[in-house]
Structure 1
């Protein structure tokens, strides 16, 4: 079969007749339900709160969303803007409540602070050579970049 015959045959057979999934039916495995799982959100909150600059309580849902957008390849450059998702904010509050009840973070004033019990936990997770550790390190870098961008904007 030569080049021309191949394309004639391909146009004669429609892709649907081959049983291939249509592009419209494709669903990413990292949709909102997958991203908004409480354990992942709890790990992101621990990662954000372990640095010297503590996230403010009122900005936590937005920060978690922005960090996930910058970390998860399916959301990079996306117009979905999950930082504004009400579902994400509700689940972030649930994850924060879990972390407070297990004494891994405290909310002092308006800042989320990691406890003496939470710090060794997240440090141990970040020391592992796993996909989770890699993702959380990217979240940490994204948080630092967001803070730096806000400082630059404030100076301008």
Structure 2
């Protein structure tokens, strides 16, 4: 049976999907489906760019990926290394382009670091100061970024 025949037959027989009388609860968690969404990536970039140490443009996709791996429970201890994901890197640059066009972030031409503007810092601060799963995740991302920087410094000193 093809597509058109199916719907014609369903309407003739008055077949409808059963109504679900159970109320579904809204589950507000950050899952794998949300990872590559531009608004989330933009908030991650703003969160990283508002701190004291700023991410370099050349390592932004890798840093965002590492921070998300440490934050999103589905990737903790996983064999997937999303920091190397080409899709994530492309979407990260698209999110950064949006932030630049909106006047929320800029790339410092002197040292190629990503910097949140005053408005960008305010938006990231507002998102972080609420009691939501997003704010909790942004705080963990901020901590993860600081930990990644510290780990890299220690590795460089050991060599």
TM-score, normalising length: structure 2: 0.78
In structure 1, what is the Cα distance between the partners aligned to 2:83 and 2:119? 28
| Aligned residues of 2:104 and 2:119 also touching (Cα < 8 A) | yes
1:151 is the counterpart of 2:157 = no
Structure 1 match to 2:24: none
In structure 2, what is the Cα distance between the partners aligned to 1:107 and 1:40? 19
SS at match of 2:74: coil
Query: Which runs of structure 2 are paired with 1:1-156 in the superposition (5 Å)?
Result: 30-31=31-32, 33-109=33-109, 110-156=112-158
Gaps of 5+ in 2: 1-29
In structure 1, what is the Cα distance between the partners aligned to 2:60 and 2:135? 21
SS at match of 1:74: helix
In structure 1, what is the Cα distance between the partners aligned to 2:52 and 2:76? 26
TM-score, normalising length: structure 1: 0.79
In structure 1, what is the Cα distance between the partners aligned to 2:121 and 2:80? 32
In structure 1, what is the Cα distance between the partners aligned to 2:59 and 2:46? 15
The aligned length equals 127
User: What is the Cα deviation at residue 116 of structure 1?
Assistant: 1.1
1:3-50 superposed Cα distances (whole Å, 9 cap, x missing partner): xxxxxxxxxxxxxxxxxxxxxxxxxx933x531000000000000001
In structure 2, what is the Cα distance between the partners aligned to 1:124 and 1:34? 20
- Runs of 4 or more, structure 1, over 6 Å off, are none
